[in-house]
Amino acid sequence: MHTQIISEQVFKIFIDGYHGYMHYFHDPLYYDYISNINETHLLGLFDNDMLIGVSMLSSTSVLKKYRLFTSHTGPLIEDITNDRLKFFLEEIDAYAKSKNALQMIHSPYMVYQLRNSEGEVADEAGNNPELVKIYEDMGYRHHGFTKQLVTEELLRHQAVIDIDQSLDALKKNMDSTTRYNTRQVELMPLKIKFLGEDEYDRFIKIYKDTEERIGFDPVPEKKLRTILNTLKDKMYLTLTYIDLDEYMQQLQSELETFETKAQTLRDDIDSGKGTKGTKKRLNQEQQQIDSRNSRIKKIKKFHDSHGSVLELSAAMYYYNNHEMVYLFSGSDPELSYFMGTNFATWEMIKKAQDLGVKRFNLSGLTGDFTENAKDFGVYRFKKGYNPVIEELPGTFDKIYKPVIYKVAHKLGKI
């Protein structure tokens, strides 16, 4: 194997055909963005003449002659093995040193170990306990197995659903509450709208309101807009809503149908044609009637307090060859009755299948799976889909010139 500098065109062709783990930080769209801000470096890993891996580095200048490097979430390697990874990392290190690197940061988008939906470590072939050791043996400092949001780093746990199966199978795999909610949103006239660039403000307002209410560490609005503008060609920005007038008409029609069936059953009973089965069916129809009357009363209250068309939730989804990722979302808690987030998630799972994607990544979790966790509500929602939880190794950094690094840090250059 060997490495060499590759062109932007070669890098993008490789990414277009790459089906392994890949964060949006390695998307060609993101490369186009970051290369206009920072100095970028593209390295290729070759097995004979075949390109089998790429590394996208970006760097910033410090004290004029030195550089701070990051590999974002790379490197990316086809049919990755620890031997290939170690070789490529050594080559990346050598390249960085040749460019007067002060520091290199890696946050590899690779699985360290798998957990089940309860957060328990699974004994799976996909675990790679050697991953941290590979970096540490090369002199990298591990930032630890964090279980909280570190703004400058990736969350280390992500809940992933295998969607390479039928919708019925996906429902069957859900827990009872999530399965019930999914079936319910299919019965309501909920709708989803894909927001355009001129509607980013609508999403950001809903997201920021939710962020403040839940108490999550804030994501700067500038960062949200940068992601939206950078990845818009591989992004779905959704808004779920419901027209209560339409829903009321649906419920009235259903009510009339159940009342007609119930009256027919009563007539059979009154005429002596009824059986025990008839009485049982009558009770079932009456339950449906009571249910529709109850819903109609609730919808009237929502209509009186909120108007006819209700905006329920908004979310941001990114996709590539490997997966669709649920990045950010927000919702109105007063309208949780309509389960807009459940609806959006189910619709986007179907959209991901239409795109040919086999994974639906519910994205970041802190890794604290207890009821005391700050993100326990988020975890509980994601857990309902019975995902596999992928634990990433975290962040590593290496200082090449400690004395100069300390000077630069004291001068506020880092």
Residue with tokens 């540490």, as numbered in its chain: 136
DSSP-assigned letter for residue 372: T
Between helix 200-214 and helix 221-231 the angle, nearest 10°, is 140
Indicate if 329 and 258 belong to the same structural domain. Answer: no
For residue 278, what is the domain's CATH number?
1.20.58
Residue 262 is predicted with a pLDDT of: 94
Indicate if 191 and 338 belong to the same structural domain. Answer: yes
Indicate if 177 and 66 belong to the same structural domain. Answer: no
Indicate if 76 and 173 belong to the same structural domain. Answer: no
| Backbone torsions φ then ψ of 26, nearest 5 degrees | -105, 5
**Residue 71 falls inside a structural domain:** yes
Scored b (16 or more CB within 10 A) or e, 310-345 reads bbbbbbbbbbbebbbbbbbbbbbeebeebbbbbbbb
Indicate if 231 and 174 belong to the same structural domain. Answer: yes
Residue 218 is predicted with a pLDDT of: 82
Indicate if 231 and 264 belong to the same structural domain. Answer: no
Residue 410 is predicted with a pLDDT of: 84
**Residue 264 falls inside a structural domain:** yes
**Using CA atoms, how far apart are residues 392 and 131, in angstroms rounded to an integer?**
10
**Using CA atoms, how far apart are residues 48 and 1, in angstroms rounded to an integer?**
6
Cis ω before 75 (30° cut-off from 0): yes
Enclosing domain of residue 296: 245-306
Residue with tokens 């909610």, as numbered in its chain: 181
| Backbone torsions φ then ψ of 262, nearest 5 degrees | -65, -40
The total number of residues written for the chain in this structure = 414
Residue 211 is predicted with a pLDDT of: 84
**Residue 149 falls inside a structural domain:** no
Which runs of E-coded beta strand occur in 214-368? 235-243, 309-319, 324-331, 359-365
Answer yes or no: are the C-beta atoms of 171 and 218 closer than 8 Å.
no
Q: Please state the pTM of the whole predicted model.
A: 0.92
Pick from 260, 280, 306: which residue ends a domain? Answer: 306
For residue 34, what is the domain's CATH number?
3.40.630.30
**Residue 151 falls inside a structural domain:** no
**Predicted confidence pLDDT, tens digits, the chain (414 residues):** 999 999 999 999 999 999 999 999 999 999 999 999 999 999 999 999 999 999 999 999 998 899 999 999 989 999 999 999 999 999 999 999 999 999 999 999 999 999 999 999 987 778 999 999 999 999 999 999 988 766 667 889 999 999 999 999 999 999 999 999 999 999 999 999 999 999 999 999 999 998 888 777 788 899 999 999 999 999 999 999 999 999 999 999 999 999 999 999 999 898 888 788 898 999 999 999 999 999 999 999 999 999 999 999 999 999 999 999 999 999 999 999 999 999 999 999 999 999 999 999 998 898 999 998 888 889 999 999 999 999 999 999 999 999 998 988 888 777
Residue with tokens 């940061």, as numbered in its chain: 105
Give 3-state DSSP helix, strand, coil % of the chain, rounded to 5.
Answer: 45, 25, 30
Indicate if 400 and 343 belong to the same structural domain. Answer: no
Residue 60 is predicted with a pLDDT of: 94
Residue 151 is predicted with a pLDDT of: 61
| Backbone torsions φ then ψ of 190, nearest 5 degrees | -75, 150
Answer yes or no: are the C-beta atoms of 39 and 58 closer than 8 Å.
yes
Indicate if 198 and 347 belong to the same structural domain. Answer: yes
Instruction: Collect all residues with Cβ–Cβ distance below 8 Å to 143 and sequence separation of at least 6.
Output: 150, 153, 394, 395, 396, 397
Number of domains in the chain: 3
Pick from 279, 306, 333: which residue ends a domain? Answer: 306
Indicate if 15 and 87 belong to the same structural domain. Answer: yes
Indicate if 356 and 405 belong to the same structural domain. Answer: no
Answer yes or no: are the C-beta atoms of 219 and 328 closer than 8 Å.
yes
**Residue 225 falls inside a structural domain:** yes
